Amino acid sequence: MLLAILGISALVTSGLLLTTSNSSKEFSTIIGALGLLGFTAAGAYARAKSLAVGLIEKLSNLYQIGLVSSAATIRPKPPVLSQPRARTIEALSSTFASGINWVSGRLSGSGAT
């Protein structure tokens, strides 16, 4: 990314120097030689634009991945469970006593339910 920024700044600087009347003949010769070798301003612009678009796409994908991963790790709230009934000693003893009475009635053959 730093290389792309330096390339764009060099491109802008060279364009400004070529358009001003104070440009040197040596600099114009170097720019002309680069143009003959295929390093044109249009090519540099297209390359810089391609790099910028690729960078924006990469950042967009990373942002989308971040959104998906954060949404995937959100856990739902646990369901509210009803509290179990508190059993008192009296309730337990009456249940136990009625069970004993039922068993003793069965054993004695009275047939009471």
Residue 36's CB: how many other CB atoms inside 10 A?
Answer: 9
Q: Are 105 and 112 in contact (CB under 8 A)?
A: yes
Lowest-confidence segment of 38-42, 53-57, 61-65, 98-102 by average pLDDT = 38-42
Res 68 pLDDT > 80: yes
pTM over 0.75: no
Residues 54-75 have a mean pLDDT of: 86
Res 75 pLDDT > 90: no
Query: Domain segments of the chain: what residues?
Result: 2-72
Res 108 pLDDT > 60: yes
Dihedral angle sign, alpha carbons of residues 13, 14, 17, 18:
negative
